[in-house]
């Protein structure tokens, strides 16, 4: 339930061992470096930067450039391996830059042609959309366009001239059609963009074009022109694909050498990244960073071995300042959840990173999320469909698509939660094929369930979710008390609305509400129980503001006035209103779990009702093909719409009714520099 314990390292090594120590740190990949300037030690102010062998920005820019080339062929470079680190060698950036320039020059023509082809496709498709009979008018042989960007021409040209027109206008977004050919002259219908008017005029002039009247009987121009236009668009798409294939083939031929350069650049980039955190004197190098306490012994031994023992290592706990006056900095957070919890850790980190040393709610979120999802989406068959969809997602998405893979795994978990609750409620694609193991959810909603001991109507289902909400909120308060104890915030622990006093008020409110329900809303507990359960914690809430005031102000008589007491009272009133309305709304908010569960059952009942209306003569629903189609469509809609809504609502209840009770989200995730580091 807690994140990994971290320690801070301050190391001083001889400058002669800089490269060997850097190689060790990169190989182990367990340090998140921090700036030495965060330490209030005057000696460090005189230290200088360690100049890397190459500019970090230049190396990173060149590596990303290679990565862009490889991505053209759909190639994703693999992170460097330890073997690559051991074979590290200096890189001649100027030489490699010239090689990349040559590759870029080779691709330049292809990319420019791709760009021109794509622009022509867009223009021709736009022209095709506007090629309507109403858009062309040619009374008395005069052609006009109903669109301001299209020019329409008809004329005569020598047959050889038409071929030259086609060749010269090949790269322009235009279409031409020969309507008639006689005596060595071709009668040509031409459509082009007005923006190309000047170029077209020059081409037509060179081809001996002469304007003419449209021949009689050629009124169906759209039917004549459209096939030519469609063919030109199709040819351009083929050319685009051919150019893309040509570029990919070229990069694939260069991929081996590009990969090797990329790996060396990445290693040198990481080396420079580590060295950028170093400070040096005339003969030593100093660096500092966070690492998991479990790696302390291993890294300490490695540094001593790499330097032959000529080093000085000091270790500091994150919650203590060292004796030299180091400024306290927050330690990064490293999760230590097993891999199968990665989908639920994703839900937590999407909300925020827990503050270092506080509770990581990931394991608990797994149970709360799945229970809520199962209660809202209880069906064995539909759950099985979800699980299979999630499994397909894990097979489809690669390891590097971590977010989508985790989302797919979450869908698998939700599918199994639905299957389990489906067995409990006896629902199989909306049908009661087997007797429910717990109670008949569908029967209660539809009004034909048999009388049971505990669950007989909708109010009983609502009560389940309210009790569940009380348990979740109570757990959130308990987590908050643990966090406040760890952080030694004693005033908040005892007197805050999220502290013991707030929990006391919440528990007292639950007792009063249950008392009212048990007595048919005709009575409340006596004066003494009300005083102990609600009155006393209300009075204790007043103590928080004065205690905070005296803690911060160090009481001085001239600062304390009547208005100060008034401020205390106003804060108390606001706090009471927040406690009462907040806890009440948070608890009742869990009734949406029952509401969506009821909606899920009602939707399936509605589809069964529609399917039964299509039957004739009392025919069974499952024997009518049309009814089966209706039920299949209904299940698909319910799985898609209800599944998404249920997932969102389960997430919302965790975030706003549970996390807000204890989760600060102010932590920083642990991101060490290693061979597998992501891009910065």
Q: Are residues 283 and 293 in the same domain?
A: yes
Cβ(148)–Cβ(267) below 8 Å: no
Cβ(452)–Cβ(439) below 8 Å: yes
pLDDT value at residue 510: 93
Q: How many CB atoms lie within 10 A of CB 278?
A: 24
Domain boundary residue, one of 213, 240, 265: 213
Percent residues over pLDDT 90 in the chain: 42
Distance in angstroms (rounded) separating the CA atoms of residues 247 and 223: 37
Q: 424 or 166: which carries more pLDDT confidence?
A: 424
- What average pLDDT does range 387-403 have in this prediction? 88
Q: How many CA atoms lie within 13 A of 393 on its CB side?
A: 19
Is residue 315 very low, low, confident or very high in pLDDT (cuts 50, 70, 90)? very high
- Tell me the per-residue pLDDT of 408-427, one tens digit each, with 9 for 90 and over: 999 999 999 999 999 999 99
Alpha helices in 15-158 (DSSP H): 18-28, 56-72, 82-86, 93-129
628 in any annotated domain: no
Q: 24 or 457: which carries more pLDDT confidence?
A: 24
pLDDT value at residue 41: 56
pLDDT value at residue 551: 72
- What average pLDDT does range 366-370 have in this prediction? 96
Distance in angstroms (rounded) separating the CA atoms of residues 622 and 608: 10
Distance in angstroms (rounded) separating the CA atoms of residues 337 and 331: 18
What's the distance, CA 442 to chain centroid?
A: 36
Q: If DSSP codes are grouped into helix, strand and coil, which group holds residue 336?
A: coil
Q: 123 or 411: which carries more pLDDT confidence?
A: 411
- What average pLDDT does range 317-343 have in this prediction? 73
Q: 106 or 140: which carries more pLDDT confidence?
A: 106
Q: How many CA atoms lie within 13 A of 492 on its CB side?
A: 14
672 in any annotated domain: no
What's the distance, CA 191 to chain centroid?
A: 47
Is residue 139 very low, low, confident or very high in pLDDT (cuts 50, 70, 90)? very low
Least Cα distance to 298 among 107, 30, 62, 515 occurs for: 30
Q: 321 or 18: which carries more pLDDT confidence?
A: 18
- Tell me the per-residue pLDDT of 472-515, one tens digit each, with 9 for 90 and over: 999 999 999 999 999 899 999 999 999 999 999 999 999 999 99
Which tokens go with 167? 């060749």
Does residue 143 carry a pLDDT above 60? no
Least Cα distance to 675 among 13, 28, 99, 3 occurs for: 28
Q: Are residues 261 and 282 in the same domain?
A: no
- What average pLDDT does range 533-556 have in this prediction? 80
pLDDT value at residue 327: 43
Across 247-256, 326-335, 364-373, least confident range: 326-335
Q: Are residues 236 and 301 in the same domain?
A: no
Q: Which strand (E) or helix (H) includes residue 593?
A: helix 591-613
494 in any annotated domain: no
Q: How far is CA 372 from CA 82, 132, 379, 425, 444, in A?
A: 45, 56, 13, 14, 19
Q: How far is CA 631 from CA 268, 606, 608, in A?
A: 61, 10, 7
Which tokens go with 264? 């060396």
Q: Are residues 74 and 204 in the same domain?
A: no
Distance in angstroms (rounded) separating the CA atoms of residues 146 and 613: 53
Is residue 325 very low, low, confident or very high in pLDDT (cuts 50, 70, 90)? very low
pLDDT value at residue 418: 96
10 in any annotated domain: yes
Q: 289 or 221: which carries more pLDDT confidence?
A: 289
385 in any annotated domain: no
Alpha helices in 134-220 (DSSP H): 159-168, 197-206
- Tell me the per-residue pLDDT of 240-273, one tens digit each, with 9 for 90 and over: 899 989 999 999 999 999 999 999 999 988 988 8
pLDDT value at residue 32: 93
74 in any annotated domain: yes
| Angle at alpha carbon of residue 298, lines to 18 and 87, rounded to 5° | 45
Distance in angstroms (rounded) separating the CA atoms of residues 372 and 591: 11
CATH value at residue 290 = 3.30.70.120
| Burial grade of 362 (CB within 10 A; 0-12, 13-18, 19 or more) | buried
Distance in angstroms (rounded) separating the CA atoms of residues 581 and 587: 10
- What average pLDDT does range 619-632 have in this prediction? 79
Which tokens go with 479? 């987590």
Q: Are residues 267 and 282 in the same domain?
A: no
Q: Are residues 35 and 79 in the same domain?
A: no
Beta strands in 204-255 (DSSP E): 210-211
Q: 431 or 148: which carries more pLDDT confidence?
A: 431
Q: How many CA atoms lie within 13 A of 142 on its CB side?
A: 3
Cβ(11)–Cβ(300) below 8 Å: no
CATH value at residue 184 = 3.30.70.2750
Name the domain count of the chain. Answer: 3
pLDDT value at residue 349: 94
Place of tokens 């006596």: 526
Is residue 376 very low, low, confident or very high in pLDDT (cuts 50, 70, 90)? very high
Q: Are residues 176 and 32 in the same domain?
A: no
Alpha helices in 52-92 (DSSP H): 56-72, 82-86
Is residue 279 very low, low, confident or very high in pLDDT (cuts 50, 70, 90)? confident
Q: Are residues 242 and 288 in the same domain?
A: no
Q: How far is CA 234 from CA 64, 161, 439, in A?
A: 35, 25, 62
Phi then psi for 566, rounded to 5 degrees? Answer: -65, -40
Q: Are residues 23 and 166 in the same domain?
A: no
Which tokens go with 30? 């367990």
Domain boundary residue, one of 266, 293, 316: 316
Domain, as residue range, for 268: 51-123+228-275
93 in any annotated domain: yes
Q: If DSSP codes are grouped into helix, strand and coil, which group holds residue 659?
A: helix
Does residue 679 carry a pLDDT above 70? no
What's the distance, CA 455 to chain centroid?
A: 40
Total residue length of the chain: 680
Q: How far is CA 47 from CA 22, 277, 279, in A?
A: 18, 12, 6
Does residue 329 carry a pLDDT above 70? no
154 in any annotated domain: yes
Q: Are residues 113 and 256 in the same domain?
A: yes
Does residue 154 carry a pLDDT above 50? yes
Distance in angstroms (rounded) separating the CA atoms of residues 387 and 390: 5
Is residue 48 very low, low, confident or very high in pLDDT (cuts 50, 70, 90)? low
pLDDT value at residue 344: 96
- Tell me the per-residue pLDDT of 443-474, one tens digit each, with 9 for 90 and over: 888 877 677 667 888 888 999 999 999 999 99
Is residue 209 very low, low, confident or very high in pLDDT (cuts 50, 70, 90)? confident
pLDDT value at residue 226: 62
Residue 311's DSSP bridge partners are 13
Beta strands in 413-470 (DSSP E): none
- What average pLDDT does range 106-117 have in this prediction? 87
Q: Are residues 259 and 284 in the same domain?
A: no
Distance in angstroms (rounded) separating the CA atoms of residues 651 and 662: 16
What is the residue-averaged pLDDT of the chain? 84
pLDDT value at residue 149: 67
Is residue 43 very low, low, confident or very high in pLDDT (cuts 50, 70, 90)? low
Percent residues over pLDDT 70 in the chain: 87
Is residue 282 very low, low, confident or very high in pLDDT (cuts 50, 70, 90)? confident
- What average pLDDT does range 582-601 have in this prediction? 93
pLDDT value at residue 133: 46
Least Cα distance to 423 among 410, 412, 438 occurs for: 438
pLDDT value at residue 619: 58
Give first-to-last CA distance, the chain, whole Å.
29
Q: Are residues 286 and 269 in the same domain?
A: no
pLDDT value at residue 46: 62
- Tell me the per-residue pLDDT of 634-647, one tens digit each, with 9 for 90 and over: 999 999 999 999 99
Residue 153's DSSP bridge partners are 190
């Amino acid at each position: 339930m807690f994140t990994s314990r971290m320690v801070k390292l301050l190391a001083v090594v001889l400058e002669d061992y800089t490269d060997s120590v850097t190689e060790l740190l990169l190989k182990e990949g367990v340090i998140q470096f921090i700036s030495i300037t965060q330490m209030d030690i005057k000696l460090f102010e005189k230290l200088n930067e360690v100049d890397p062998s190459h500019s970090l920005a230049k190396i990173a820019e060149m590596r990303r450039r290679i990565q862009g080339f490889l991505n053209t062929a759909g190639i994703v470079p693999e992170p460097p391996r330890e073997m690559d680190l051991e074979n590290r060698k200096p890189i001649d950036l100027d030489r490699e830059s010239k090689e990349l320039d040559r590759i870029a020059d080779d691709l330049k023509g292809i990319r420019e042609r791709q760009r021109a082809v794509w622009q022509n496709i867009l223009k021709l498709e736009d022209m095709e959309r506007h090629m309507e009979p109403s858009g062309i008018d040619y009374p008395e042989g005069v052609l006009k366009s109903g669109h301001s960007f299209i020019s329409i021409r008809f004329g005569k040209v020598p047959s050889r001239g038409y071929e030259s027109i086609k060749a010269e206008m090949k790269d322009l977004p235009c279409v031409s059609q020969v309507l008639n050919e006689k005596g060595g002259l071709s009668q040509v219908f031409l459509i082009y963009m007005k923006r190309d008017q000047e170029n077209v005029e020059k081409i037509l002039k060179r081809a001996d074009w002469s304007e003419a009247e449209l021949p009689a009987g050629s009124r169906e121009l759209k039917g004549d022109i459209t096939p030519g236009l469609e063919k030109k668009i199709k040819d351009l798409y083929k050319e685009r694909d051919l150019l893309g294939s040509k570029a990919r083939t070229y990069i694939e031929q260069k991929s081996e050498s590009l990969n090797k350069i990329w790996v060396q650049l990445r290693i040198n980039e990481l080396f420079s990244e580590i060295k950028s955190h170093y400070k040096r004197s005339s003969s030593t190098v100093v660096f500092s960073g966070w690492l998991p306490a479990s790696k302390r012994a291993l890294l300490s031994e490695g540094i001593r071995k790499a330097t032959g023992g000529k080093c000085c290592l000091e270790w500091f706990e994150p919650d203590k300042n060292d004796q030299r006056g180091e400024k306290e900095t927050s330690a990064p957070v490293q999760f230590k959840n097993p891999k199968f919890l990665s989908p639920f850790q994703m839900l937590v980190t999407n909300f925020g990173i827990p503050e270092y040393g506080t509770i990581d709610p990931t394991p608990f979120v797994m149970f709360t999320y799945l229970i809520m999802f199962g209660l809202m989406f209880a069906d064995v068959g539909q759950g099985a469909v979800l699980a299979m969809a999630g499994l397909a997602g894990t097979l489809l998405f690669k390891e590097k698509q971590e977010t989508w893979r985790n989302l797919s795994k979450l869908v698998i978990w939700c599918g199994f939660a639905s299957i389990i609750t489906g067995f409990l409620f006896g629902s199989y694609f909306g049908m009661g094929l087997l007797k429910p193991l717990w109670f008949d959810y569908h029967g209660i909603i539809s009004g034909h369930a048999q009388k049971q001991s505990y669950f007989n109507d909708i109010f009983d289902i609502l009560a389940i979710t309210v009790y569940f909400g009380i348990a979740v909120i109570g757990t959130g308060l308990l987590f908050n008390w643990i966090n406040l104890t760890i952080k030694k915030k004693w005033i908040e622990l005892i007197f805050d609305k999220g502290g013991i006093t707030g929990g006391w008020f919440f528990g007292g409110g639950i007792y009063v509400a249950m008392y009212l329900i048990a007595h048919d809303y005709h009575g409340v507990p006596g004066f003494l129980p009300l005083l102990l359960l609600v009155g006393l914690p209300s009075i204790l809430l007043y103590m928080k503001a004065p205690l905070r005031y005296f803690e911060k102000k160090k009481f001085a008589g001239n600062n304390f006035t009547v208005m100060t007491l008034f401020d205390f009272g106003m804060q108390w009133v606001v706090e009471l209103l927040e406690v009462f309305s907040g806890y009440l709304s948070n608890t009742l908010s869990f009734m949406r779990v029952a509401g969506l569960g009821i909606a899920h059952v009602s939707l399936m009942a509605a589809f069964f009702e529609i399917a039964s209306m299509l039957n004739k003569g009392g025919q069974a629903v499952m024997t009518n093909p049309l009814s089966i189609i209706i039920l299949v469509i209904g299940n698909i809609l319910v799985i898609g719409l209800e599944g998404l809504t249920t997932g969102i609502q389960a997430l919302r209840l965790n975030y706003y009714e549970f996390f807000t009770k204890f989760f600060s989200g102010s932590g920083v995730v642990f991101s060490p520099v290693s061979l597998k580091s992501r891009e910065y």
